Amino acid sequence: MGAKGNDLPPNDSVGPRLLAVLVPLFAVALVLYAVRIWSRLRPKPRLTAADYMITVAQVAETIAIVFTIAAVSRGFGRHVWYINKDEASDIGTFTFVVFVIGLWASCFGRISVACLLLRITPWPRWKMLLWVIIGFQLAALIACDIVELIACRPIRAAWETVPDSECFPIEGMWANAYVFISIAMFSDAIFALLPMVTIWRLNRSVVERTLITILLALGLLAVGAGIFKIKVLKGYDITAEDNAIDQIPGYMWARLEEILIIIGACAPLLKSPIEGFLHRKFGLPLFRPVVRDLNSVHSLPSTANVRRMRFGKNRECSHGTEQSREHETWRPGTSSISLEHVGSRPMNKNKIEHKSIN
């Protein structure tokens, strides 16, 4: 039974509060994306697959935020008793577009992270796992969008009452949502934990490895948003009379997850701008691979010759001789270099190069 007369709640709206949370965070994601692309274009273009994937995600999320603002302007977030039929139809249309396009933002954001990790991961098994995750993300995106588009006939029956319409059972729609969320959370966890294994084996400074690990671990924020989204969805009643306002919490956590994925995908590529800022403002040294001094193979005696040297030294000691090792020469057939020249060659400094995030 609906609320009537004095039982009606106040004619207020939580829509502005929804925008107060989403819009500033979206602005942060947009700035980080712009800085990332700018850093990849200067001094010369170095765009990769990860940059193109995050561009798709950013465009999709921009469309989602625009339609969210349009839905709020039509009454999204108000109680259903204060929304007329035309407004309800517009709200349903706008939010349906957001649900479909929002999947693109989260999916391509995760694929962008996977493409980035493929560049810095040296182990074939980890690379195979990343490719499997990319495949699952694309498959889940296609499946979920198809289900959303064919769930009701006609499509507008998904958000308004249409005579003689047919829709999938609610249980099937929830199962579709939970499968997508599970795949997404598993991917986010892998993307956050894998760098901790990879980065700390690189020949880089501790400060640089710590910075990259923190930036890549920002993806765990998306995992947290996914957990809250599941908690809210479990308590949501789609058949409730005032579901126009009841769906706001789940809607908010879904958009937060998408935005946090974009932030987590862009953050690692900010290493170079952050490095330049710390160098200019605080005089900190630029990040460089750790250079280790290695002995040249030509400056070291062979194992067989070392054994002869030790045997000769012991024999001399047993006879009480004090002949110096520096005047002994190698036996014929072993080497033409005398011991007095061993170690006289300068040591080479070999730089070990590793892949890094630029």
Sign of CA dihedral 299, 302, 307, 313: negative
Residues of the chain with pLDDT under 70: 1-6, 202-208, 211, 216, 237-240, 269-279, 282-358
The C-alpha atoms of residue 217 and residue 192 are separated, in whole angstroms, by 5
How far CA 127 is from CA of 47, 134, 155, 201, 356, in Å, comes to 20, 11, 40, 16, 16
The C-alpha atoms of residue 157 and residue 150 are separated, in whole angstroms, by 11
76: DSSP letter: T
Q: Which two tokens stand for residue 11?
A: 């004619």
CB within 8 Å of 52: residues ≥ 6 apart: none
* pLDDT attached to residue 335: 42
Q: What is the pLDDT of residues 314-351, one digit of tens each?
A: 555 555 544 444 444 444 444 444 334 444 444 444 44
* pLDDT attached to residue 35: 87
The C-alpha atoms of residue 159 and residue 47 are separated, in whole angstroms, by 41
The C-alpha atoms of residue 93 and residue 73 are separated, in whole angstroms, by 13
* pLDDT attached to residue 28: 93
Report strand pairing: 292-293 vs 349-350.
Answer: antiparallel
CATH label, 11-282, candidates 1.20.1270, 1.10.3470, 1.20.1070, 3.40.50 = 1.20.1070
Q: At what angle do helices 49-73 and 85-120 cross, to 10 degrees?
A: 160
| Model confidence, pTM | 0.71
* pLDDT attached to residue 336: 41
Cβ-contact 190, 263 below 8 angstroms: no
Count Cβ atoms below 10 Å from residue 273 Cβ, excluding itself.
13
Q: What is the pLDDT of residues 190-219, one digit of tens each?
A: 887 777 777 777 666 666 677 677 776 777
**Max Cα separation, the chain?**
118
Cβ-contact 134, 183 below 8 angstroms: no
Sorted by where each begins, the domain ranges of the chain are 11-282, 296-350
Strand partners, 166: 153
The C-alpha atoms of residue 358 and residue 344 are separated, in whole angstroms, by 40
